[in-house]
Chain A
Amino acid sequence: MTDGRSKQKILEIDGLHVSYGVIQAVKQLSLDIYSGEIVALIGTNGSGKTTTLRSISGLVGDTRGRILFAGRDITKLEPHRIVKLGISQVPEGRGVFPDLTVLDNLRLGAYVRRDRAEISADIHKMYQLFPRLEERKKQLAGTLSGGEQQMLAIARALMARPRLLLLDEPSMGLAPLMVKEIYAAIRQINQDGVSVLLVEQNARMALAAAHRGYVMETGSIVVQGTAEELRSNDVVKSVYLGIN
């Protein structure tokens, strides 16, 4: 392959089941991410995409099946240990800490690290990736616009130096120009060597950026393939891309 992608699986989900009480949110889900890939997970509201991401990060208690990260079983690990191993998540709704400054949010992103000098160097890298964050570094995160909060959330997740970045609806509620900017950053991050799992309702954006994709419906994967295959798939075209 021409880019940084390899044959090595960085994430391997095998037969994942998640239930909330009697409701089965995810059923028999299997999904792989190869090192260096951007993988899109698309589907309508309530199809189980967010639950899948939450399971990877260890935020859901009641799971069955196996999740391997770089060959290691992380299914039963606590969330903070999973972050330490190298998986960061930008949650739905961005999840910035509203009453902390932009800078403090970024520093918390590096909570698992001890290398102070490297951390400040990384903060400057984030300011290069998103110059607006530097302008607003002393501001409380809650006062930022939605797009700026999304930038902050992504930058903060990168501060942990993850090998795999999970993004939950990064384009939600943003103006088209801002969406473009965010997606440019996602591609940049991926070129710098971070594998990405991208959950989106905006299938068009996601499939334009991704190498491969999975389509989820009511808790299960119904279609999968390369981004190109999905873009020309009739079901995907009519349901998710709005093309007849």
Chain B
Amino acid sequence: MFLQQLTNGLTVGMIYALIALGYTMVYGILKIVNFAHGDIFMIGSFLGLFFMQEFHLPLYLAFLLSAAVTAVLGVLIERLAYRPLRMADRIVPLISALGVSTLLVSLAQKLWGTEMHPFPTAFGSRTYTLGSITFSEIQILILVLSFILMLALQLFVTRTKTGTAMRATSMSLTNAALMGINTNRMISLAFAIGSALASCAGIMVGIYYNAVYPTMGYMAGINAFTAAVLGGIGNIPGAMLGGVLLGLVETLGGAYISTQYKSVISFSILILVLLIRPSGILGSKDINKV
């Protein structure tokens, strides 16, 4: 029972981590919370559904194509809704983000209706047993693919010239520009990568719960944002750790206390972190960052 819950918690946690990365990368550079990010996750899920239903594409192609389209969408959102407000007070892009969020939900409702759509794939229902733990195929996909994506991201930001430039940009926009780094391009890149990861998470969640609907980004977004804050917003390994921890605590709490209290548990954690260690587990001690 415990090991099973641990597995389930880890599954949910990996999803939170994937989404949290988008919040944290954008916050790291621009110091704004992209509240439309949860809805980008939702759009990614719908796009996967769309490519499979309308074009009968195989699952891996649906992943790739939605990631690509969502990445472009993320870049466009930054261009149109945030970049013109770069010099404005910090509350202004926040309001713009809420506007984009509403727009994306309405767009999805217009295109696909308000109802829940089942995910059109036979994939994911088969199960495997390992000792006392039962894995479904989709759980294995979530664990493996999320791990690969996060490892790839970590290698990119630490081992490549562009990745190092992106980290430098998140430490200081001005000083990065003085190195000859095109900081606007780094910002676009952060939005593209974050959105692509959210899209992958969206498709996996769609299969896992066999449900895709326009408001699915709301709770997922808030939970992932909590995970990002928990790990230390702006910090990439922090988002990964925060996501996994939140998934575990939420699932174990749900299993041993009551599933009714799932959200209570995650929000209590958010409030506790903000009170005790506002910079998060791996965040720097600079409180202005939160």
Contact = CB atoms under 8 A, between A and B. Distances in A.
B175 interface: yes
Contact of B167 (A79, A84, A91, A99): A99
A242 B172 CA distance: 37
A111 B178 contact: no
B182 to A, nearest CB: 5
B177 interface: yes
Interface in A108-148: 108-109, 111-112
Contact of B179 (A58, A98, A99, A160): A160
Interface in B59-100: 87
B177 A79 contact: yes
Interface in B149-199: 161, 164-165, 167-168, 171-172, 174-175, 177-183
A104 B161 CA distance: 9
Interface string A44-71: 0000000000000111010000000000
Interface in A57-115: 57-59, 61, 78-80, 83-84, 88-89, 91, 95-100, 104, 107-109, 111-112
A83 B179 contact: yes
B167 A100 contact: yes
B164 A59 contact: no
B172 A80 contact: no
19 contacts: A57-B178, A58-B177, A59-B178, A78-B182, A80-B177, A80-B183, A97-B172, A97-B175, A98-B171, A100-B168, A107-B164, A108-B164, A108-B165, A108-B179, A108-B181, A111-B181, A112-B179, A160-B179, A160-B180
A95 B175 contact: yes
Contacts of B167: 97, 99-100
Given A97-B168, A104-B164, A111-B161, A83 B175 contact: no
A70 B178 CA distance: 19
B172 A95 contact: yes
B180 A112 contact: yes
A111 to B, nearest CB: 5
B195 to A, nearest CB: 24
A199 to B, nearest CB: 14
Chain B interface, >50% SS class: helix
Contacts of A88: 178
A170 B176 CA distance: 19
Interface string B127-166: 0000000000000000000000000000000000100110
Q: Which 4 A-B pairs have the closest CB atoms?
A: A83-B180, A112-B180, A79-B177, A95-B175
Interface in A2-26: none
Nearest to A98: B171
Given A97-B168, A97-B172, A111-B165, A59 B180 contact: no
Nearest to A54: B174
Contacts of A104: 164
Given A80-B182, A80-B183, A107 B161 contact: yes
B180 A89 contact: no
Contacts of A59: 174, 177-178
Contacts of A58: 177
A156 B181 CA distance: 13
Highest count of chain A CB atoms <10 Å: which of B171, B175, B178, B284: B178
